[in-house]
Amino acid sequence: MDNQGPRPVADDVDDQPAAVPAAPQVVPTPPAAAPATAAPVAAAPPAKDPAKGRLRRRLFAVLGIVLLIAAVAYGVHALFFAPAVEETDDAYVAGDVVAITSREGGTVVALYADNTEAVRQGQPLIDLDPATSDINLSSAAAELARAVRSTRANVSQVDEAQAGVAQAQAELSRAQNDLTRRKGAAADGAVSGEEVSHAADAVTTARASLRLALSRVAQARSTVQGVTVANNPAVLAAIARYRNAAIARGHMHITAPVDGVVAQRTVQLGQQVAAGTPLMAVVPLRKVWVDANFRETQLGDIRIGQKATITSDMYGGKTVYHGHVIGLGAGSGNAFALLPPQNASGNWIKIVQRLPVRVALDPRELDRKPLRIGLSVDVTVDTADVSGNLLARPAVGKFQSQESQGTSPAVEAEIRRIVAANSARHSG
- pLDDT, tens digit, 9 for 90 and up, residues 218-253: 776 776 666 777 788 888 999 999 999 999 999 999
Beta bridge partners of 376: 92
Alpha-carbon gap, residue 135 to 379, rounded angstroms: 58
Collapsing DSSP to helix, strand or coil, 285 comes out as helix
Alpha-carbon gap, residue 420 to 325, rounded angstroms: 59
Q: Judge whether 379 and 91 are in contact, CB under 8 Å.
A: yes
Q: Over 90: is that where the pLDDT of 197 sits?
A: no
In degrees and rounded to multiples of 5, residue 141 shows phi and psi of -65, -40
Q: Cβ contacts of residue 287 below 8 Å, gap of 6+?
A: 95, 96, 363
**Residues 385-405 as b or e (16 or more Cβ within 10 Å = b):** eeeeeeeeeeeeeeeeeeeee
Q: Over 90: is that where the pLDDT of 180 sits?
A: no
Return the minimum-mean-pLDDT range out of 124-133, 294-303, 326-335, 406-415. 406-415
Q: Cβ contacts of residue 227 below 8 Å, gap of 6+?
A: 233
Beta carbons within 10 angstroms of residue 102's beta carbon? 20
pTM of the model: 0.65
- pLDDT, tens digit, 9 for 90 and up, residues 373-419: 999 999 999 998 888 888 877 877 676 766 666 678 888 899 989 98
Beta bridge partners of 382: 85
- pLDDT, tens digit, 9 for 90 and up, residues 116-172: 999 999 999 999 999 999 999 999 999 999 988 887 777 776 777 777 778 778 888
Side-by-side strand order, sheet with 253-255: 253-255, 124-128, 106-111, 272-273
351-to-29, 95, 194, 294, 333 alpha-carbon distances in Å: 92, 29, 116, 14, 13
DSSP 298-362: G-TT--TT-EEEEEETTTEEEEEEEEEEEEE-SS-GGGGSSS---TTSS-------EEEEEEEE-
Q: Cβ contacts of residue 238 below 8 Å, gap of 6+?
A: 140, 143, 144, 146, 147, 148
Q: Judge whether 117 and 259 are in contact, CB under 8 Å.
A: no
165-to-9, 200, 205, 219, 231 alpha-carbon distances in Å: 197, 20, 14, 13, 28
Beta bridge partners of 358: 291, 327
- What is the overall mean pLDDT for the chain? 82
Confidence of residue 426 (pLDDT cuts 50, 70, 90): very low
Of residues 208, 205, 227, the one with CA closest to residue 158: 227
Q: Judge whether 232 and 419 are in contact, CB under 8 Å.
A: no
Q: Over 60: is that where the pLDDT of 33 sits?
A: no
How long, in residues, is the chain?
A: 428
pLDDT reported for residue 18 = 45
DSSP 393: P
Side chain identity at residue 363, one-letter code: P
Q: Judge whether 106 and 267 are in contact, CB under 8 Å.
A: no
